[in-house]
Amino acid sequence: MKKLIFSLALLVSAFSQAQNNTCYWQQHVDYDMNVDMNVENYRYTGTQELVYTNNSPDTLNKVYYHMFFNAFQPGSEMDRRLQDIKDPDGRMVNNKGDRQNPDYESRIAKLKEDEIGYLRATSLTQDGKKVETEEEETILIVHLAEPILPGKSTTFKMEFEGQVPVQIRRSGRNNADGVALSMTQWYPKLAEYDFEGWHADPYIAREFHGVWGDFDVTINIDKDYIIGGTGVLQNPEEIGYGYEEKGTKVKHKGKKLAWNFKAEKVHDFAWAADPDFIHDKLETESGVMLHFLYKDDPKVTEAWKKIQPETAKLLAFFNKHIGPYPWPQYSVIQGGDGGMEYAMCTLITGGEDYNSLLGTTAHEFAHSWFQQLLATNESEHPWMDEGFTTYISGLAQKTIKGTSGNPFAGSYRGYNYIATSGAEQPQTTHGDRYDINTAYSIAAYSKGAVFLAQLGYIIGQENLAKTLNRYYDEWKFKHPTPNDFIRVAEKVSGAELHWYLTDWTETTNQIDYAINSVEEAENGTKVTLERKGLMPMPVEVTVTLNDGSKKLYYMPLRMMRWEKPAEGDVERIVKEDWPWAYPTYDLEIDTPKANIKSIEIDESQLMADVNRSNNTYGQVDSE
């Protein structure tokens, strides 16, 4: 009987461990592609050998490919969305009206047959066996010849053909700056499968999610064209154009050059090409080689030269404040339709306005960490890459420029605008499902940046800095979720923070704390505070006396089960916790009312209070 009981105990223990197994896994893919580009008609053909490893616990009976270029055709989902949304992306439409009375026309709807984009698989096999496929615009459904078992790999061989669309969004030919080819989202890309299942989202102009892997890509193109992009060029002595070692003589043979790039541990591959590119290189202190490719145009060359040492400074800042850039090179390339990040490179338009070029470069380079290295699902959690990038690039520019003030003030203004407009949607909204583009942009960029800046208010700046470093250490080369990030912040600080993630990202609850009254009290002054909004926060109140001295009163939020460490030189008095369910709180101050010059909730202005007009009493000094 004892043996039976012992065996049952072991079985229950093993079952319990299995039920609580939260072991992380992710898929892996290796691409070997050879592409031939015709620069006369902007059509290309290619072969792709793709080795897919199923690291999931599931048996897969189908896979999906993204065929992004099919979005650039009249009648596509992207085209239809442009015609229905109230505030379409200005780059993608023609306004036949004026600013006050716009009349938008989709540029995709006007594309001719030789201007559209397309991407087609002309043949596809799995381990030598033909597979059945269905094309649903930007998604290719593949019914497997044989299931892929957990832990097993399979090889897909595909022949494909495509046409580069007129530049409308991110990808395309002959953009506004005259760059011939901006080749992004250009190849058949396997969709991601993770603990949530398949992410075969149609392409409707938002961003991306991809499988980690290695790329070996050969691009055959007219010998006069210069390429920059993802990966490290493997045959620089055959290519030249500034990639070769100094002193090497390069002689081009034939009409085309075969550019061979390799990139390890990335989840995308992009490139751009133009016959008039200038190519500059800058080796940084960390050993990373920076490449700059831009048009030989006197209107922009000065800014593109000036940005080069600043990019090296940005690299050093991000290496310190996030973690070391892990790849051997990074390319800043003139191309695309604004600024967009890709693996080991970015495409940026412009250059006539240096400050704009610097700001865009800072933002896009920061994406090498927040999304290219810490590869969140941008479709579901765009605020985790756009917001975190906005936060860290704002800090970087402040440091490099030596400016003062709050670098996130614009993000706070943007958030406050949407929060009080009635048009806000929760940050958990899928990127494609925002009612208006403005709501998407502010949720992703502004509210996402405020998430981090405000977290510094909640747990302290030192803890926030440590959180970013540890987040990098624990989640680089992976696919972190919002909960993964907030758990890192909890482990670093010791605070309970799930409430913050829930209220800020899953609801549109607002923060609004107010000073209701200031009264004489037996032992000083009683300040009655009120929580008017639904979202809880720890509260800091700064009391400035007539002699100019200050005291900081800190009321921890009970559900955090923790209090923030003291920061700065101002005397801090920690009061009793403020439980969320209590709408008011009586703050006792041991100073007579007559001696008080001012009282202010959140002097730092890092708490995203939607109505700061009720945050002050008395004469508050403005900075």
What would the two tokens of residue 123 be?
A: 């043949």
Query: 157 pairs with which residues across the strands?
Result: 49, 125
| Helix (H/G/I), strand (E/B), else coil: 325 | coil
Question: How sure is the predictor about 21, in pLDDT bands with cuts at 50, 70 and 90?
Answer: very low
pLDDT of 621: 79
Q: What angle do CA 476, 189, 208 make, to 5 degrees?
A: 55
pLDDT of 19: 38
**CA–CA dist 115, 111 (Å, integer):** 6
495-501 average pLDDT score: 98
| Helix (H/G/I), strand (E/B), else coil: 571 | strand
**CA–CA dist 170, 364 (Å, integer):** 13
**Percent with pLDDT over 70 in the chain:** 96
The answer to whether 464 and 429 are in contact (CB under 8 A) is no
pLDDT of 453: 98
Q: Tell me: the pLDDT tens digits for 324-374?
A: 999 999 999 999 999 999 999 999 999 999 999 999 999 999 999 999 999
Length of the chain in residues, anyone?
A: 623
Predicted confidence (pLDDT) at residue 426 exceeds the cutoff of 90? yes
Closest CA to 549 of 530, 532, 571: 571
Helix (H) or strand (E) holding 525: strand 524-531
The answer to whether 295 and 256 are in contact (CB under 8 A) is no
Closest CA to 471 of 331, 603, 560, 369: 369
Query: 30 pairs with which residues across the strands?
Result: 51, 214
What's the whole-model pTM score? 0.95
**Which of 42 and 7 is assigned the larger pLDDT?**
42
**Which of 221 and 13 is assigned the larger pLDDT?**
221
Q: Tell me: the pLDDT tens digits for 606-621?
A: 999 999 999 999 988 7
Cα distances (Å, whole numbers) of residue 532 to 193, 296, 505, 536, 598? 43, 58, 19, 10, 21
Q: Which phi and psi angles does 436 have, rounded to 5°?
A: -135, 155
Average pLDDT taken over every residue of the chain: 95
Q: State the DSSP string of 329-389.
A: EEEEEE-TTSEEEETTEEEE---SSHHHHHHHHHHHHHTTTTTTTB---TTT-HHHHHHHH
Chain center to CA of 60: 29
| Helix (H/G/I), strand (E/B), else coil: 347 | strand
pLDDT of 622: 67
**CA–CA dist 535, 513 (Å, integer):** 10
552-557 average pLDDT score: 98
pLDDT of 623: 56
How many CB atoms lie under 10 A from the CB of residue 494? 15
Cα distances (Å, whole numbers) of residue 371 to 134, 290, 342, 396, 454? 30, 19, 9, 18, 21
Closest CA to 485 of 521, 448, 436, 518: 448
> Could you tell me which residues come within 8 angstroms of residue 69 by beta carbon, excluding any fewer than 6 positions away?
117, 118, 119, 162, 163, 164, 165, 171, 185, 186
